[in-house]
Amino acid sequence: MLNEYRQRFINESLQLILLDNDSVVVASDNSIFHVAQGESITELHPFFESVPSLIESETKVFKFLCIHLSLQGDFRIVDISISKEEPHAVLVIHDLTEHYESYQSAAQARNESVIKTELTVIKNNELEERERFKNLFIQNFSHEIRNPLTSIVAIANILSDTSLTDQQRKMLDFLQESNAALKLMLEDILSLGAIESGKLHLQEKPFDLTKLFRLLEFTYKTKTKQKNIELVAVFDERIPDFVEGDRLRLYQILTNLLDNALKYTDSGKISFSLSFNQKWANKVSIRFEVADTGVGIPEESLESIFESFTQLDVGQNKDGSGLGLAIVKGLLELMGSKIKVTSQVGQGSVFYFDLLLKYPLHPVQEALKGSTSPIQGDIKRKAKDKVNLLVVEDDERIQTLILKTLVDAEFFNVDILNDGADVLKELVNNQYNIILMDVDLPNISGDHLTRLIREFPFKNIKNIPIIGLTANAFNEQITSYLASGMNKVLTKPFEKEDLIKAILRVLR
Amino acid sequence: MHRSKKLVVLGHFGVGKTSLIRRFVSDVFSDKYKVTIGVHITKKVVEISAGNSVSLILWDLEGTDDITTIRNSYLLGTHGAVFVFDVTRPSTFQNLNEDLKVVAEKLRSVPIIVVGNKMDLVDANDLITVLGENDIAYDFLSSAKTGSAVEDLFYKMATLLQEDA
Ligand SMILES: Nc1nc2c(ncn2[C@@H]2O[C@H](COP(=O)(O)OP(=O)(O)O)[C@@H](O)[C@H]2O)c(=O)[nH]1
Ligand SMILES: [Mg+2]
C-alpha cells in the first residue's frame, strides 16, 4: 500500500538522472522532464552548463536550492543536488514549485512595502526641502518689501495732512487702507517665518497682566459693539497683576484669537477670560480662553486651521493673511504651551491654552520706587520749551524708570511706544525733540529703525537725536549702534543721572 | 573560439537586475515588479569579434539587502559579477564599498562591474554629485527601461572574461 502511494506522491516530484564523467546522460526516470539518454546534460538548460566543472572538482556533493527551470514548455521551481558516485554522478531534481510560489508571494509583499516606504521617505524629504526654500524666499522677499512700504505709509500720512480735494481724499483713504492691509500681512508672514525658523526669541520681562487684559477688553468692546455682539470679559482675581514673559507676543496671541472670533461671529457673544489654575513658589498657571457663538469649525478642519500659509486657502481669507492661528500655534509652542480648540458647527468655538508664568515675589512697582533726585536746572536752561520725548521700549520696568525720572520734572512730554513698527508714523504726526530707543525691540531692531530715520527725506525727522538703550555692554556692539546713527548709547541698567546726563548732551 | 562563462548579477532587491538581463537577452522591459526568489538562469551569446564569441550564462540572483546572506552554492564556478544598485534609492548604494568587499572575498579575483541602474529617473548631474559625495565608484550608469548602457556593460564584461581566459 504505502509503496504504491510513495510511488504516486513522492516519485512524481523527484527525478533521478545518472550521468557519466563527461556529463552525458546514462539513465533518467523522466518523472518531471524528459531527458534523452546519450545526450549531454549541458544541452538541457543553461543551469547544467556548470555541471562538468562540478564533476571535475574535489567536492562530492552539491546542493542548489530554488532553481527556476523552464523547459519543454514546462515551468518548475526545483532543488537540485549532485552527488558523485564513481564512475557516475547522480543528479536529483526535487520539484518544490508550490512551496516556492507561496514563499514568492510573501517576499513580493515584503519587498514592495520596503521599497515603497523608502521612496515615500525620500519624496517627503524633497517636498520639505522645497517647502523650506519657498518659505525662505517669501521671508526674504517680505523683508525687502517692508522698508519701501514703511516709507509709503509715512508719506501717505503726511499727504493726508495737506489740503486735498474730495476725490483725492477718497483715493488717499483707499491707499492708506491698502497700505495697512499689506503691512499687516507682511508682519504676519515675518512673524510666522521668525517663529518657524526658530529666529524668534521670547522676552522674559515683568509686565502688568491686568493692564494688558483691560486694554484688550477695551479694544474688543468697541469692535464687538460695531458688530452688534456682546463681549464678556472675565479676569480671575487670584491671578497676580504682574507676571514675567513676553507681553507683546501674548498680546499678539490674544488679538489673533479675538480677531478670529470676531471674524466668524455675527450674533451672540464673545467671551474672553483669564482664569487661575494653580500657583507654585513663584510660578502661576493661567488658563486663557476665547469663546464665540460663531459659525463653528467642522471636525475634519480642526487640525488644518492652524496650518501656515503653505496650505492657505486664499479664497476664504479675504481679510487678513489667514495666518493668525498658525502664529498663535507657533508662539504658544515657543512658550511651551499648546493651543486647543473645541467646536460645534453652528454653535461656536472655544480656543484655549494654559500658560505657566513666573511672577515677581516683590511687587514691581515697589522695586522701581526710589528717591527722585531733583533734576538739574541745566535742563531748564537748555530747553526753552517743553521737551517732547518719544520712548520706544517694551520693558515696563525701564518705562517706569524713565517716567519716574522725567515726568516729575515737568520739562518733558513723554510718549511711550512698545513696538518699533509704529515709530515712523508717530514721528511724522508729532514733533519730537529726542528719541529714547531700546535696541532689542521685537519685530524691528532699534539700530535698524535708527538707520531708517536717518535716511528719512525730512530734515526735522532725520535729525532727531536718538539715545539707544541696550543690555548689550560689548564695545563693538555699542560702536555698531553708534554707526547706525544713534547719538549716544546707554547700557541697561542705568542710573537716573546717566539718563539725564545723556539727555543734556544731545539737547541742543 | 567559443566558451561559456558564468556571470552572477548581484545587488539589493528591486534595483533592476532582472530587468537588465531581460533587456539584454530579450530586449524587453516591464514596469511591473516581480520579486525574484532563488535564481533564474539564462544565456546569451556575445560576439566580441569576428568568429570570436562568448556564451554568457547569466545567473539572476534573488536580491537581498544583506549581501552576506547570498547562498554560496550560487557563486560556485563564477567567472564574473555585475553588482547593480538603484540610483533612486540611497539605501542600495550607501554601503556599496563594504558590499563590494564582501563580494570580492566570496568571489576571489573575478572581475566585478558596478552598475547604477534606473538612470532614466534622475538628473545625471545631480546623481554624479551625490555619488561623488558618497565616494562611490561605478563603471556604468544604465537604464533597463530605455536600454541605455545595457549592451555596453555586458559587452564589457564579455571582453574582460575573454581576456581572462
Ligand atoms: N524607470 C526604471 N525602472 C526600472 C529600471 N530597471 C528596473 N526598473 C523597475 O524596478 C522594479 C524592479 O526591477 P527588477 O528588475 O525586478 O529588480 P531586481 O529585484 O533587482 O531584479 C521593476 O518595477 C522594474 O520595472 C530602469 O532602468 N528604469
Ligand atoms: Mg530580480
CB < 8 Å from A in window 101-160 of B: none
Compute the count of residue pairs across chains A and B with CB atoms less than 8 Å apart: 70
Greatest extent of chain B over all pairs of C-alpha atoms, in Å? 44
**What is the pLDDT, as a whole number, of residue A458?**
80
Distance, in Å, from the CA atom of A139 to the CA atom of A192, rounded to the nearest integer, reads 9
CA A302 to centroid of chain Cα atoms: 18
Q: d(Cα A303, Cα A5) in Å, to the nearest integer?
A: 67
B88 touches chain A (CB under 8 A): yes
Domain count within chain B: 1
| Range of the structural domain that residue B89 is part of | 2-164
Taking the centre of ligand 2 as the mean of its atom positions, its distance from the CA of residue A108, in whole angstroms, is: 11
Nearest chain B Cα to A57, which residue?
A: B77
Specify the pLDDT at position A410: 66
Residues of A in contact with B90 (CB under 8 A): 122
| B63 interface with A at CB cutoff 8 Å | yes
Q: Which residues of A touch B34 (CB under 8 A)?
A: 108
Distance CA A335, CA A501 (A): 39
- CA–CA distance, B93 with B87 (Å, rounded to integer): 8
Q: How far apart are CA B31 and CA A229, in angstroms?
A: 63
Please state, in angstroms and rounded to a whole number, the distance separating the CA atoms of residues A343 and A261.
12
Question: Among all ligands shown, which has an atom nearest to the Cα of B62?
Answer: 2
Which residues of chain A have a pLDDT value below 50? 310-318, 365-376
Which residue, chain included where needed, has cell 532553481? Answer: A67
| Shortest Cα–Cα distance, B122 to chain A (Å) | 13
Contact with chain B for residue A97, Cβ under 8 A: no
Residue A133, min C-alpha distance to chain B (Å) = 18
- pTM for this entry: 0.59
| A71, β-bridge pairs | A74
pLDDT for residue A418: 83
Among residues B61, B131, B145, the alpha carbon closest in space to that of B103 is found at B61
Q: Is B1 on the interface with A (CB under 8 A)?
A: no
Give every residue of chain B whose pLDDT is below 70, as ranges. 1-2, 164-165
What is the CATH classification number for the domain harbouring B91? 3.40.50.300
Q: Can you tell me the ipTM of this complex?
A: 0.93
Strand partners, B117: B86
**All domains in chain A, ordered by first residue:** 12-95 (3.30.450.20), 205-370 (3.30.565.10), 378-507 (3.40.50.2300)
Rounded distance, CA A134 to CA A309, Å? 11
Give the other-Cβ count within 10 Å of A124's Cβ: 10
Instruction: Return residues 3-62 of B near A (CB < 8 Å).
Output: 4, 6, 13-14, 33-35, 37-43, 55, 57-58, 62
Which pLDDT score is estimated for B29?
Answer: 97
Whether B41 sits inside 8 A of A46 (CB atoms) is yes
Residue in this structure with the C-alpha cell 546707554, named with its chain if needed: A490
Query: Rounded to an integer, what distance in angstroms lies between the CA atom of residue B19 and that of residue B58?
Result: 12
Q: Which residue has the cell 564599498?
A: B97
SS3 assignment, position B49: strand
CB of A28 closer than 8 Å to CB of A40: no
Beta strands in A6-138 (DSSP E): 14-19, 25-28, 61-71, 74-85, 88-95
DSSP H helix total and E strand total for chain B:
5, 6
Taking CA atoms only, the protein residue closest to ligand 1 atom 23 is B33
Q: Name the maximum alpha-carbon separation found in chain A.
A: 131
- The answer to whether the beta carbons of residues A219 and A183 sit under 8 Å apart is no
What are all long-range contacts of A373-378, with beta carbons under 8 Å and residues at least 24 apart? A373/A496, A373/A497, A375/A405, A375/A406, A375/A408, A375/A409, A375/A411, A375/A500, A376/A500, A376/A504, A378/A504
Work out whether strand B52-61 and strand B2-10 pair parallel, antiparallel, or are unpaired: parallel
